[in-house]
Structure 1
Amino acid sequence: MQFQLAYSGLHWGDIPFVLTGIWHTLLLTLLATFFGTVLGLLVGWLRHESVVARLALAPFVNVLRSIPLIIQFILVNSLFAMAGFGISPLFIGVIVLSLYMGMLTSELVRSGLQSVRPQLKKASRSLGLSYWQTLRHVSAPLALRTLFPGWIGTVIGLTKDTALVSVVGYIELLRASQILINRSNEALLVLAGTGLFYFAICYPISRYSRHLEKVMRHD
Structure 2
Amino acid sequence: MFFEGTLAWSDILFLLKGAVVTIAITLAAVGIGTLFGTLFGVIRAGAAWWISSPLGWVLDIFRSVPLLIQLVIFNSFNSMFRLNWPTYVVACICLGVYAAALCTEIVRSGVAAVPTTTRRAARSLGLTWRQEVVSITLPIATRIVFPSWIGLALGIMKDTSLVLWIGIIELLRSSQIVTTRIQEPLTILAITGVIYFLMSFPIARLGARLEKRWQIQ
Q: Where on the TM-score scale, by shorter chain, does this alignment land: which range?
A: over 0.9
* Structure 2 residue 47 is the aligned partner of structure 1 residue 47: no
* Structure 2 residue 16 is the aligned partner of structure 1 residue 19: yes
Partners of 2:38 and 2:107 within 8 A in 1 = yes
**Matched residue pairs, number?**
212
Partners of 2:111 and 2:141 within 8 A in 1 = yes
- Work out the CA distance in 2 between the residues paired with 1:80 and 1:127: 50
- Shift of the alpha carbon at 1:152? 0.5
- Shift of the alpha carbon at 1:48? 1.4
Q: Which residue of 2 aligns with 1:184?
A: 182
SS in 2 for 1:148: helix
* Structure 2 residue 84 is the aligned partner of structure 1 residue 73: no
Amino acid at match of 2:18: G
Partners of 2:14 and 2:174 within 8 A in 1 = yes
Partners of 2:15 and 2:192 within 8 A in 1 = no
- Work out the CA distance in 1 between the residues paired with 2:12 and 2:191: 12
Name the CA shift for 1:16/1:196 in 2 (closer, same or farther; >3 Å). Answer: closer
* Structure 2 residue 19 is the aligned partner of structure 1 residue 28: no
After superposition, the C-alpha distances for 1:116-149 in whole angstroms (9 at most, x for unaligned) are: 1111111122222222222223211211121111
- Which is worse superposed, 80-89 or 96-105? 80-89
Amino acid at match of 1:25: T
After superposition, the C-alpha distances for 1:153-185 in whole angstroms (9 at most, x for unaligned) are: 000000000000000000000000001001100
TM-score in terms of structure 1 length: 0.92
Q: Which residue of 2 aligns with 1:131?
A: 129
After superposition, the C-alpha distances for 1:74-105 in whole angstroms (9 at most, x for unaligned) are: 11111111122322221111011000100111
Partners of 1:9 and 1:185 within 8 A in 2 = no
SS in 2 for 1:162: helix
Partners of 1:9 and 1:183 within 8 A in 2 = no
- Work out the CA distance in 2 between the residues paired with 1:92 and 1:16: 25
CA RMSD of aligned residues (A): 1.4
- Which is worse superposed, 177-186 or 132-141? 132-141
- Work out the CA distance in 2 between the residues paired with 1:146 and 1:162: 26
Partners of 2:37 and 2:107 within 8 A in 1 = yes
Q: Which residue of 2 aligns with 1:94?
A: 92
- Work out the CA distance in 1 between the residues paired with 2:164 and 2:207: 29
- The 5 A counterparts of 1:185-200 are 185-200=183-198
TM-score in terms of structure 2 length: 0.93
SS in 2 for 1:9: coil
**Structure 2, gaps ≥5 residues long:** none
- Work out the CA distance in 1 between the residues paired with 2:128 and 2:62: 35
Amino acid at match of 1:37: T
**Structure 1, gaps ≥5 residues long:** 1-7
Identity of aligned residues (%): 39
Q: Which residue of 2 aligns with 1:122?
A: 120
- Work out the CA distance in 1 between the residues paired with 2:135 and 2:40: 20
